Amino acid sequence: MPPVTVFVCTTCRRSGDAEDAPRAGATLAANAEPLAGPDLAVRPVECLGNCSRGPTAAIAVPGGWTYVFGNLDPAEAAPALQEGARLLAAAEGRVMPWRGRPEPLKRGLIARIPPLELPA
């Protein structure tokens, strides 16, 4: 099975961050990258289009749903993304269960996107 992928927006800012301040999304991406392994890919990307609610990340699995999360704490969200990826990979029907989902992924859910091939 291909790994679950966590896409992290590197261009995200937090509301109120100065224009020249380090990007909170880049910090989140840097914190998440060491968590990558054979079952988890971490891909820094530019702009996930959730600018008013950044930092933003998405968790995707082939044949399953993709989850977009916002308002993530760049210093603390990486382990929550790793746990969410683990839950999604193991979930029946490739739907991330609510129960057991880390709190940042419960309160930060922006969208749930169906797989391209949605089963009947």
- Rounded to whole angstroms, the Cα distance separating 4 from 36 reads 10
3 state SS of 112: strand
81-86: average pLDDT = 95
pLDDT given for residue 15 in this prediction: 81
In the numeric block, which tokens belong to residue 42? 């971490």
- The predicted model scores a pTM of 0.91
pLDDT given for residue 7 in this prediction: 97
Total Cβ atoms within 10 A of residue 110: 16
pLDDT higher than 70, residue 47: yes
For the stretch 72-75, contacts whose Cβ atoms lie closer than 8 Å and that sit 24 or more positions apart, written own/partner, are: 72/28, 72/104, 72/108, 73/104, 74/14, 74/24, 74/25, 74/27, 74/28, 74/31, 75/27, 75/31
Confidence of residue 117 (pLDDT cuts 50, 70, 90): confident
pLDDT given for residue 119 in this prediction: 66
* Structural domains of the chain, with CATH: 4-113 (3.40.30.10)
Is residue 44 a contact partner of residue 29, using CB atoms and an 8 Å limit?
yes
- Rounded to whole angstroms, the Cα distance separating 67 from 90 reads 15
pLDDT given for residue 17 in this prediction: 86
Angle at 106 (CA atoms; ends 101, 111), nearest 5 degrees: 110
